[in-house]
């Protein structure tokens, strides 16, 4: 049976699951745990009649031990990590890596902060906002040191609605072809937020670092986080200086996410946000920004987050032979229905997301119900009017389906440069399982 808790009370909601106005799949996400974190996200629940309705299903009270909070372990480097939303699908607890369930991912254009996918390589640092300083440095001893208040006050706040995607999104589909090294992300290592902060460009210009564009080869901006490994080495990455200085590229030193202060998991108090570029370059818990003639020496810039030929294996790989991933290729996936689902005959609703790197807008999403033999054009949801194609398009397709049939649902997106997704995984397989953007396939059966 299906139970949930609210406060210290326990409810058997088995008979209510099918009656849930938001759909049975959504209420089941809270099964076996507390309702509060879900009700906090979906405000329709904060009405007296909802609590009253729940009363009818009460079966008991939590025991005092279960009602008490679990205690933290002080020896554990991850003991200071923040609390997380129970709906997140955890791929690794320490360090914390988790993605929202697909059916919640496309519930709203902006991903609620609590559900935004989290990709941490190390423990989450605890930062005292009052003593935080951001170091900005470049050649010739030029630079700045900024407090959080100075970053907020000296530079105009700029806002960008942008999708962030991890290079490893949809890796689990790649490892089904052949095993790869990396976290087994499903389709949820991608999320969208409205980010607010200072433009990196404005900060670099204020530091006197705006003059190194091009004349002596490509320069870079290297970022370091406050999160460090056991040897004291921080997370780091870089982007080309040209992108950092471009007003069009809208690179941010973000301190706000969806109108709230940046949550700890997403880089409190300041992170880099590089629209249209692989998530790995958007360094969280930012401690330094250094303008340099070379890319970041960090492991994650040099020996990770690069693409290779399918025949390259761990014995033959030469990481120095491939460029670091920056702009990502065109991507799309189906969030509803789920693979293996049984859907009722009549009309099916297929939902998903589509996005491309570099600010290239998604111009079309094609959906097939028969494995790619015939196609229909999905309807794209509303997107922000202003700005470039930094954010995803949510899409939907409704189509009649006959009882007793099997559907092989497929989606593929087209971006404004007419880039398309590859039809299968094998030719783009790579040992690290990155850049997994083949047509997404979801088999379902139609019941009678």
Interface residues with ligand MTE (CB under 6 A) are 116-122, 164, 166, 225, 227, 235, 266, 279-280, 282-285
Taking the chain, what is the end-to-end CA distance rounded to the nearest angstrom? Answer: 25
Question: 66, 8 in Cβ contact below 8 A?
Answer: no
Interacting residue with Mo ion among 101, 197, 279, 337 (CB under 5 A): 279
| Tokens encoding 235 | 């997370």
418 part of the active site: no
353 part of the active site: no
Q: From the candidates 20, 133, 176, 406, give the one annotated as an active-site residue.
A: 20
From the list ligand MTE, Mo ion, none, pick the one residue 227 interacts with, judged by a Cβ distance below 5 to 8 Å according to partner type: ligand MTE
Q: Interface with Mo ion by CB under 5 A: which range of 190-198, 273-281, 321-329, 431-439?
A: 273-281
45 part of the active site: yes
**How far from chain centre, in Å, is Cα 146?**
28
CA-CA distances (angstroms) from residue 82 to 94, 185, 198, 234, 400? 12, 21, 25, 19, 45
309 part of the active site: no
Single out the residue of 435, 430, 438 nearest to residue 179, CA to CA.
430
Q: From the candidates 132, 235, 255, 305, give the one annotated as an active-site residue.
A: 305
From the list ligand MTE, Mo ion, none, pick the one residue 164 interacts with, judged by a Cβ distance below 5 to 8 Å according to partner type: ligand MTE
CB within 8 Å of 439: residues ≥ 6 apart: 372, 410, 411, 412, 421, 422, 423, 424
Q: From the candidates 119, 201, 266, 388, give the one annotated as an active-site residue.
A: 119
From the list Mo ion, ligand MTE, none, pick the one residue 306 interacts with, judged by a Cβ distance below 5 to 8 Å according to partner type: none
Q: CA-to-CA distance for 159 and 275, rounded, in angstroms? A: 11
CB of 31 to ligand MTE, least distance (A): 26
Q: From the candidates 85, 132, 158, 166, give the one annotated as an active-site residue.
A: 166
305 part of the active site: yes
Applying CB under 5 A, the site for Mo ion has a residue count of 4
- Closest to ligand MTE by CB, 7 vs 83, is 83
Q: From the candidates 6, 42, 45, 84, give the one annotated as an active-site residue.
A: 45
From the list Mo ion, ligand MTE, none, pick the one residue 38 interacts with, judged by a Cβ distance below 5 to 8 Å according to partner type: none
Question: 135, 380 in Cβ contact below 8 A?
Answer: no
Question: 412, 308 in Cβ contact below 8 A?
Answer: no
Tokens 């996918």 appear where? 117
- Closest to ligand MTE by CB, 118 vs 335, is 118
SS3 228: strand
Question: 190, 163 in Cβ contact below 8 A?
Answer: yes
CB of 257 to ligand MTE, least distance (A): 8
| CB burial string 147-176: b at 16+ within 10 A, e below | ebeebbeebeebbbbbbbbbbbbbbbbbbe
CB of 160 to ligand MTE, least distance (A): 14
- Give the nearest residue (CB) to Mo ion: 166
- Per-residue interface string for the shown chain with Mo ion, residues 109-138, x marking contact by CB under 5 A: ----------x-------------------
Residues labelled as active-site residues: 20, 45, 119, 166, 305
């Amino acid at each position: 049976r299906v139970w949930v808790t609210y406060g210290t009370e326990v409810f058997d909601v088995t008979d209510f699951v099918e009656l849930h106005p938001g759909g049975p799949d959504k209420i089941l996400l809270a099964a076996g745990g507390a309702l509060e974190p879900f009700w906090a996200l979906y405000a329709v629940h904060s009405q007296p009649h909802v609590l009253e309705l729940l009363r009818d299903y009460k079966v008991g009270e939590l025991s005092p031990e279960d009602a008490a909070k679990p205690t933290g372990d002080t020896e554990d480097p991850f003991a200071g990590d923040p609390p997380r939303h129970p709906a997140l699908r955890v791929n690794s607890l320490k360090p914390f890596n988790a993605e929202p369930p697909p059916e919640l991912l496309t519930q709203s254009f902006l991903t609620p902060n609590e559900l935004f996918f989290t990709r941490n390589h190390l423990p989450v640092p605890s930062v005292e906002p009052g003593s935080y300083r951001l170091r900005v440095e470049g050649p010739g001893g030029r630079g700045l040191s900024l407090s959080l208040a100075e970053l907020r006050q000296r530079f105009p706040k700029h806002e960008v609605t942008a999708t962030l995607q991890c290079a490893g999104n949809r890796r689990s589909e790649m490892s089904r072809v052949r095993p790869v090294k990396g976290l087994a992300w499903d389709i949820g290592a991608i999320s969208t937020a409205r980010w607010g902060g200072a433009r990196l460009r404005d900060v670099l210009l204020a530091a006197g670092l705006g003059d190194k564009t091009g004349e002596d080869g490509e320069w870079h901006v290297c970022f370091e986080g406050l999160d460090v490994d056991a040897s004291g080495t921080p997370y780091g990455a870089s982007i080309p200086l040209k992108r950092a200085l471009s007003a069009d590229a809208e690179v941010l030193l973000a301190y706000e996410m969806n109108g709230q202060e940046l949550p700890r998991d997403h880089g409190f108090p300041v992170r880099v946000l590089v629209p249209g570029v692989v998530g790995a370059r958007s360094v969280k818990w930012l401690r330094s920004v250094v303008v340099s003639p070379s890319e970041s020496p960090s492991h994650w810039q040099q020996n990770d987050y690069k693409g290779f030929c399918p025949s390259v294996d761990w014995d033959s790989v030469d990481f120095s032979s491939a460029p670091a991933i920056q702009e990502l290729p065109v991507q799309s996936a189906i969030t509803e229905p789920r693979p293996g689902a049984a859907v009722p005959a009549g009309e099916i609703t297929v939902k998903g997301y589509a996005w491309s790197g570099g600010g290239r807008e998604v111009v079309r999403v094609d959906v097939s119900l028969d494995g790619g033999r015939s196609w229909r054009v999905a309807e794209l949801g509303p997107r922000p009017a202003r700005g470039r194609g930094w954010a995803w398009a949510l899409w939907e397709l409704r189509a009649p389906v006959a009882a007793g049939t099997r559907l092989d649902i497929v989606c593929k997106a087209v971006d404004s440069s007419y880039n398309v997704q590859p039809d299968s995984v094998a030719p783009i397989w790579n040992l690290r399982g990155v850049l997994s953007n083949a047509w997404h396939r979801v088999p379902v059966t139609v019941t009678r």
